[in-house]
């Protein structure tokens, strides 16, 4: 059976997902690797080859490769490396490839990842939705009546933590475990509470105020991205779900 590779190139990680050509099948086998801004064409070829081998998949079974990238400096390397190993020219998705009305002053400014997840939310969940994507930056995007309406951008959780470590000499490095209480009893607990619950409440506030602006009351709220499960429990809004494969699903819908 022929397969599709869907690739999400983010500032922190690259997620490579493998799925069937069946448009109703949204199951993915995927690998997450650290984004290397200095990656070479050879390294891309080797990485794709090794991942397919680990998945027991032959290169000749890959029929399409779709990519969403917010790291333009590695696009050429991925294009050439994938073409070399698979004999396929990958398609880099832009806002112009997405059949969705976009209410934004300059659509070329929008990261392809934000539009892909918004398109996927409309196609798979609801014409009215809010998408919270927790990556290097945290984005909150609004879809109303099936149209992309814009959103808000915050620093990512790890980005904020790194800034604190760099600027505050007595702040210790911590693991991002879900806090048990708002009021921490150790410095580590205080940081976890401040970062995770603080981000959750900031996101909750943005969603509430944004919904007032667009006149929607009960949209689907979809959390995606690597740290979505950390902040999800602390956002006290109805009709919320986690879908960590939302961007990969969006790419597949566009295949």
CB–CB of 247/233 below 8 Å? Answer: no
Does 56 lie in the same domain as 17?
A: yes
Residue appearing with tokens 């991205």 = 225
Confidence of residue 170 (pLDDT cuts 50, 70, 90): confident
Are 100 and 84 in the same domain?
no
Per-residue pLDDT at 84: 96
Catalytic-labelled residue, pool 25, 103, 113, 145: 113
Candidates 161, 150, 143, 151; CA nearest to 230 is 161
Same domain, 120 and 240: yes
Q: How many structural domains is the chain composed of?
A: 2
Place of tokens 């990842």: 113
pLDDT in tens, 141-167: 999 999 999 999 999 998 888 888 777
Q: Quote the mean pLDDT of the chain.
A: 94
> Span 78-92, mean pLDDT?
97
Least confident of 33-42, 87-96, 116-125, 172-181: 172-181
**Does residue 8 have a pLDDT over 80?**
yes
Please give the Cα distance from 141 to 138 (Å, whole number).
Answer: 10
Mean pLDDT of 170-189: 86
* pLDDT tens string 25-81: 999 999 999 999 999 999 999 999 999 999 999 999 999 999 999 999 999 999 999
Q: Are residues 177 and 101 in the same domain?
A: yes
Long-range Cβ contact pairs of 217-220 (< 8 A, separation 24 or more): 218/128, 219/126, 219/128, 219/129, 219/130, 219/142, 219/143, 219/144, 220/121, 220/125, 220/126, 220/128, 220/129, 220/130
Domain of residue 51, residue span: 3-92
Nearest to 134 by CA among 154, 111, 161: 154
Q: Are residues 49 and 106 in the same domain?
A: no
- Choosing from 72, 92, 112, the residue where a domain stops is 92
The band of 173, judged by pLDDT with boundaries at 50, 70 and 90, is confident
The answer to whether residues 157 and 125 belong to one domain is yes
131 lies in the same domain as 14: no
Among 70, 92, 114, residue at a domain's last position: 92
Last residue of a domain, one of 42, 62, 92: 92
Domain match, 155 and 224 both: yes
113 belongs to the catalytic site: yes
- The predicted pLDDT at position 174 comes to 79
Task: Based on the fold, state whether residues 144 and 183 are members of the same structural domain.
Answer: yes
Are residues 228 and 139 part of one domain? yes
pTM as predicted: 0.93
Q: Say yes or no: 82 and 151 in one domain.
A: no
161 and 106 assigned to the same domain: yes
Any idea what the CATH number is for the domain that residue 188 is in?
A: 3.30.420.40
């Amino acid at each position: 059976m022929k397969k599709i590779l869907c690739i999400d190139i983010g500032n922190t990680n690259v997620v490579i997902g493998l799925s069937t050509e069946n448009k109703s099948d949204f199951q993915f086998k995927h690998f997450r690797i650290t984004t290397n801004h200095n990656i070479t064409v050879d390294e891309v070829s080797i990485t794709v080859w090794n991942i397919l081998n680990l998945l027991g998949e032959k290169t000749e079974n890959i029929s399409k490769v779709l990519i969403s990238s917010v790291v333009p400096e590695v696009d050429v390397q991925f294009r050439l490396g994938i073409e070399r190993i698979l004999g396929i020219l990958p398609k880099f998705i832009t806002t112009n490839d997405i059949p969705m009305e976009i209410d934004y002053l300059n659509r070329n400014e929008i990261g392809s990842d934000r539009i892909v997840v918004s398109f996927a939310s409309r196609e798979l969940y609801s014409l009215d939705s809010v998408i919270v994507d927790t990556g290097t930056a945290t984005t909150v995007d609004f879809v109303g009546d099936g149209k992309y309406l814009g959103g808000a951008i915050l620093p990512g959780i790890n980005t904020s933590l790194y800034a604190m470590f760099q600027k505050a000499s007595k702040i210790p490095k911590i693991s991002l475990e879900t806090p048990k209480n708002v009021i921490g009893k150790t410095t580590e607990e205080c940081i976890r509470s401040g970062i995770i619950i603080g981000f959750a409440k900031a996101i909750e506030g943005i969603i509430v105020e944004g919904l007032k602006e667009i006149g929607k009351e009960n949209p689907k709220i979809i959390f995606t991205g690597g740290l979505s499960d950390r902040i999800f429990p602390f956002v006290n809004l109805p009709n919320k779900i986690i879908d960590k494969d939302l961007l990969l699903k969006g790419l597949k819908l566009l295949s």
